[in-house]
Structure 1
Amino acid sequence: MIISTEPVWIGHDNELAELCARLRGQAAVAVDTEFMRTDTFFPIAGLIQLGDGKTCYLVDPLSITDFSPLRELMVDEKVVKVLHSCSEDIEVFVSLLGEVPSPIFDTQIAAAFAGLGFSLGYAGLVKAVLNIDVPKDETRSDWLQRPLSESQIKYAALDVAHMLIVYGKLLQILKASERYTWVKSDCADMVAAARKPDDFSDAYQKVGFAWKLRPSELAILRELCIWREVESRARNIPRNRLIKEPSLFEMARKQPKDAAHLQRIEDIPTRTLRNDSEKLLGIIHSAANTDAAKFPPRLDAPLAPAEAPLMKALKKYVRDTAEVLQLPPEILIRKKEYEAIVRSGMKGGVFTLPERLLGWRYDVIGKGLLAVAENPVLDADGIASI
């Protein structure tokens, strides 16, 4: 099937309404976005690409004033939105439309389950499935400039031109291997995660070396991280432009009492010191005087060398299982999930699985991982025979 790579420009509200009404009659639509995020927390949409399998449409978000037709299309449960590596695209739509597209089909996830490789780029996927070369030389273009260059327009159109054909090929492979439900489940999980309300209360746990801090210091770090998350969004600036995590760590550890002491903390931006010193000192003072009963518990230290054999056994089991399934092991389990299994046995004596391994993954690797955790000398063949 020949797809036109000469796109149709959508720059007026009536054009967008007509297009979206037509696309809502389809079973699936190809979707991509181009955006800028150099100096802002939230992405600024520069272009929205849509494809119906015949034509590419480039929607100009800088000239559209009524996005309600696009919003209705993105949340129409009867139309699958086909995207590639869509986590950032989801952020664009949340920022632009206030909605998470659903249902989605991420062709990067699907490619991994189809045995084409983990974290495969779109150009590589199109090459692997269709043997067509897709240029990627405009990735870092200025998508807010107008007019866009001819090469930008061509690049943007090609990002959706072949996507529905790739989608169809992947569906065939996944249904034949009975893995389509796995992809559908993982994509639904992405939507559910994106729809969760913001909760910054655990942000401090991601700060490097936070495990070294005492509970009283963690209470300070927790409040500083909440402030950083809230303010970076309110001011629409990148987190690190407001303040970096190592500076928050030092503030929690040293607990400066005045502006002079605060200035001695390394790498706090001059603007933050000028505008926010009083607020930061107030947060530190208030958190330091919190009731000790409300302090967070100490964080887990890195796993000790004594836990390495179990970790190695778990990874070997997943590698062996993935090899049998002809899948990349990374699509089955995340690094932090190995650690969670090991830690569960350390704390309570009974090994448990993270929530993500209790769905379809339970039968594929979950039961086996628990068996290995209880008896690390078992291999994949031994587990299969249990």
Structure 2
Amino acid sequence: MSEQFCPKVDYPVLKGSSEVEYVDTPERLREFLRAIEDHSVIAVDTEFIREKTYYPQLCLVQIAAGNSIWCIDALALDELSAFYREICNPSRLKVFHAGRQDLETFYHEAAQIPAPVFDTQIAAALLGRSDQIGYAALVADFYHIELDKSSSRTNWAMRPLSDHQLDYAANDVRYLLGIKNKLNEELLTRDRSAWLEEECCRLVEIDLYESDLANVWRRIKGITKLMEPEQRNIAVALASWREVKARKRNLPRGWVLKDDRLVAISQAAPSSTAQLHAVSGLAPSFLRRYGSELLKAIRVAGKGISVSDEPFSRRLTVAGKALLGDLLKALSRCAKDNSISANMITTRRELELAICGQLSIRLYEGWRDNLFGKAVRNQIASTNSKMFD
């Protein structure tokens, strides 16, 4: 792992609200930009809202560097291009905790990903902690401090922000650089720094944050209930239609059409207005607004992307299920032997895909392949029975 990715710096623990600088004017923003010029590593967190929108609305960005913390008010500043240039500077390492949504927000706002990154949640999981461990748990673990979470339900779009809210937001980066340093020492000791770099490189891939209309169907909960190729093709078409509508109206996907109703429509495969209206759970106002569009999408579904041969649609045989059980036991042993969460290595669903012949899975890449993937491939290859229908 490069020194740039894991510089050896003794980061201070930043205490007290007096260090928090609120940046809400162009002058203060310029002062902030000058202040971080010489910092090669910064901690970053964001506060955004998206409960009622498709796209996240960035409200506040918290930055820690050296002995200082800044809260940049994204709603108060009309021009943030210089800020985004600095945040996305490839010579500066950005430390996040569970940073995927933060990175998505930056990508939406700036059309860039602020690489390179160091994600402390991923680092902690690679060292044997829970794969969903929270920032507060790491603060308690390393510093024996219980963070105040009384402002966790704050509407970050409301102004003005109180000193208490700003201090709460600042806490999300106050200990982050120190935690990064401690985790980095553990990674180096256990020779897993390259594992983290691999994970963080994947985290900043642009494709992760772009919704490809051809693949949005993969987000649908319950799509595996669709047994017929025609039904799955309808679901693909409806998922694409829903995505376009959600983007255009800036609404959550579920506000346009919930997953369970999308699956129900796909199962019914309606070809007329009467058949569409017979699908339960569809509001009259929804049908009036979108009924003709849905039927059009269904009619052209056969010309779209077929997923009839996707491995997810295959069913394991008795022998396949037995093999899955053996692989899950082997996964548990591997995770225990290597002091790492099993979910960080692979999942039950991914093992099912592997048994069904899928090769483009995360398990067969990088450190996971060396740790467990090769053994899985060998065990599958040595099985002569029919594994799936």
The TM-score with structure 1 as length reference comes to: 0.87
1:264 maps to: 278
Aligned with residue 284 of structure 1, among 280, 283, 298: 298
Find the aligned partners of 1:278 and 1:178 in 2 and give their Cα distance: 58
Aligned with residue 368 of structure 2, among 358, 361, 376: 361
CA RMSD of aligned residues (A): 2.3
> Conserved in 1, the CA contact under 8 Å of 2:363 and 2:373?
no
Partner SS, residue 137 of structure 1: coil
> Conserved in 1, the CA contact under 8 Å of 2:121 and 2:135?
yes
Letter in 2 for 1:3: L
120-129 vs 327-336, greater mean Cα deviation: 327-336
2:6 maps to: none
Q: Which has the higher contact order (CA 8 A, sep 6+)?
A: 2
Alignment of 1:175-324 (within 5 A): 175-192=188-205, 194=207, 197-207=210-220, 208-210=222-224, 212-287=226-301, 290=303, 295-299=306-310, 300-324=313-337
Alignment of 1:12-31 (within 5 A): 12-31=25-44
> Conserved in 1, the CA contact under 8 Å of 2:97 and 2:119?
yes
Partner SS, residue 360 of structure 1: helix
Change (3 A) 1:72 1:334: farther
Find the aligned partners of 2:268 and 2:329 in 1 and give their Cα distance: 43
Q: What is the CA-CA distance between 1:222 and the residue it aligns to?
A: 1.6
Find the aligned partners of 2:260 and 2:149 in 1 and give their Cα distance: 35
Query: Which runs of 4 or more aligned residues in structure 1 lie more than 6 Å from their structure 2 counterparts after TM superposition?
Result: none
- Cα deviations across residues 26-50 of structure 1 (Å, max 9, x unaligned)? 1210000111122111111121111
Partner SS, residue 356 of structure 2: helix
> Conserved in 1, the CA contact under 8 Å of 2:107 and 2:209?
no
Find the aligned partners of 1:305 and 1:13 in 2 and give their Cα distance: 66
> Conserved in 2, the CA contact under 8 Å of 1:83 and 1:107?
yes
1:41 maps to: 54
Change (3 A) 1:162 1:37: same
Letter in 2 for 1:95: H
> Conserved in 2, the CA contact under 8 Å of 1:30 and 1:160?
yes
2:164 maps to: 151
> Conserved in 1, the CA contact under 8 Å of 2:36 and 2:65?
yes
Partner SS, residue 344 of structure 1: coil
Letter in 2 for 1:240: G
Q: What is the CA-CA distance between 1:5 and the residue it aligns to?
A: 3.3
Change (3 A) 1:222 1:83: same
Change (3 A) 1:331 1:210: closer
Find the aligned partners of 2:284 and 2:66 in 1 and give their Cα distance: 52
Partner SS, residue 188 of structure 2: helix
- Cα deviations across residues 328-371 of structure 1 (Å, max 9, x unaligned)? 222122333211221118xxxxxx57255221222222222223
Find the aligned partners of 2:93 and 2:284 in 1 and give their Cα distance: 47
Unaligned runs of 5+ in 1: 346-351, 377-386
> Conserved in 2, the CA contact under 8 Å of 1:5 and 1:161?
no
Find the aligned partners of 2:350 and 2:266 in 1 and give their Cα distance: 28
4-13 vs 224-233, greater mean Cα deviation: 4-13
Question: Kindly, what percent of the aligned residue pairs are identical?
Answer: 27
1:10 maps to: 23
Find the aligned partners of 2:91 and 2:336 in 1 and give their Cα distance: 36
Change (3 A) 1:130 1:375: farther
1:373 maps to: 380
The TM-score with structure 2 as length reference comes to: 0.87
- Cα deviations across residues 227-271 of structure 1 (Å, max 9, x unaligned)? 111111111101111011222223233333444432322223444
Q: What is the CA-CA distance between 1:62 and the residue it aligns to?
A: 0.8
